[in-house]
A and B are shown apart, each in its own frame.
Chain A
Amino acid sequence: MNPYDLSAADLDALREFGNIGAGHAATAFSTLLGGVVRMSVTDARLCPFGEVVEVVGGSDTLVIAVYIRIEGEIEGNMFVVLSPESAERLLNQLIPGRTPGDPYGEMEYSALGEVGNILSGAYVAAISDLCGFRMTQSIPAVAMDMASALLDIGLMYGSGEDNQVLLISTRLTHGGREIQAYFFLLPDFHSSSELFDNLRGKMSSG
């Protein structure tokens, strides 16, 4: 059976799963920056490759992505994606004394990696509590480049034979759209059956 043969109820459960993760990440983001962080409705769907990069503006769009590999009972790839403008505002807020517009050095990359680490840590801890999965996350890797070039690893592991992936995405916005970060979770293809079995079990037990 194709593990991606999904019902509307499966996708609802997946959306709720993403909401819980992103909710914890939003709290962590707000603690880090102060102020209010708003969260979009989580989008969870089976998505053709091309649509994944459309979420952040298309394959050629320049973005900053923090990549975190998740391993354990459920495996997958997580990306925190920011526009160059949002990343710039975030860095100016995080690094005291930074001159806005300075080219990125080690300090900038490590600050972005740390933000990705904190946010994904909160997300992963929440979903692993919810489902009782043991999960670990890699140290974060940061790069700035074309969206499709950065996200293609997620597509590789997330797809079976039909060029589609499960995409769980949420947008976090801090301080009136000044800083927007997209959360992408792409479960590995081989992990999806287990994930849905768990979520279906939760639904039937109320």
Chain B
Amino acid sequence: MVEDRAEIRVGIAEGAIMRGPGRLVTAGLGSCVGVVIYDAEARLAGLAHVMLPGSPSPVTNVPQKYADTAIDWLVREMMRAGASRLRLRAKYAGGAQMFQGVKMEALRIGERNVQAVQKELADRGILVEGTDVGGHQGRTVWFEMPSCLLTVRTARGDMRML
């Protein structure tokens, strides 16, 4: 938990909670998905860099790594920090297929990650306010509080705001 204007960088398969104002950043999302859950009124936001669709077991040391346990972790940590369950909203980006032209199940993981994130959020009744998923490009993303905007930048320098 960081007070005041902060920039928190989240590594692969990691997560962080921020008490705004500030910025949560994760760089180089390929097939991984960057999921943000936030409460605009409480100025709280959490980001997880999700790598795989499902946890092999419900108890894991690295809940941020899997879509199912990452979303549970985000909701739990947000609530603990004082967020309101009913005000929670989500934005997410990522889930690309980086290597094209090869039919390999391994390379379809991005699509499966996106499906899992979508389902886990829907199962918990968390409204999704914006997404930028799929395609064949990597993404660096940052979420800003208090604007609640998720900015997506590709390696070519294209920018999108959600």
Contacts and interface: CB of A to CB of B under 8 A. Distances in A.
Contacts of B106: 69, 77, 153, 157
Interface in B93-114: 96, 98-102, 104, 106-107, 109
Nearest to B136: A143
B137 A145 contact: yes
Interface of chain B: mostly helix, strand, loop or mixed: loop
Interface string A134-154: 000011111111111111110
The interface size bin for chain A is 20 to 34
Contacts of B14: 163
Contacts of A138: 102, 104
B133 interface: no
A53 B28 CA distance: 10
A14 to B, nearest CB: 23
A145 B13 contact: no
B45 to A, nearest CB: 21
Interface stretch (B35-43, B59-67, B83-91, B122-130): B59-67
B28 A147 contact: yes
A50 interface: yes
Contacts, number: 103
Given A138-B104, A161-B62, A150 B27 contact: no
Interface string B129-148: 00000001111100000000
A143 B138 CA distance: 10
Q: What's the interface size class on B, roughly?
A: 20 to 34
A60 B157 CA distance: 11
Contact of B107 (A53, A140, A141, A163): A141
Interface of B: 11-14, 27-32, 51-52, 60-62, 65, 96, 98-102, 104, 106-107, 109, 136-140, 155
Given A150-B138, A163-B14, 11 more contacts: A58-B27, A59-B27, A141-B100, A141-B101, A143-B100, A145-B137, A149-B137, A153-B30, A153-B98, A153-B109, A163-B13
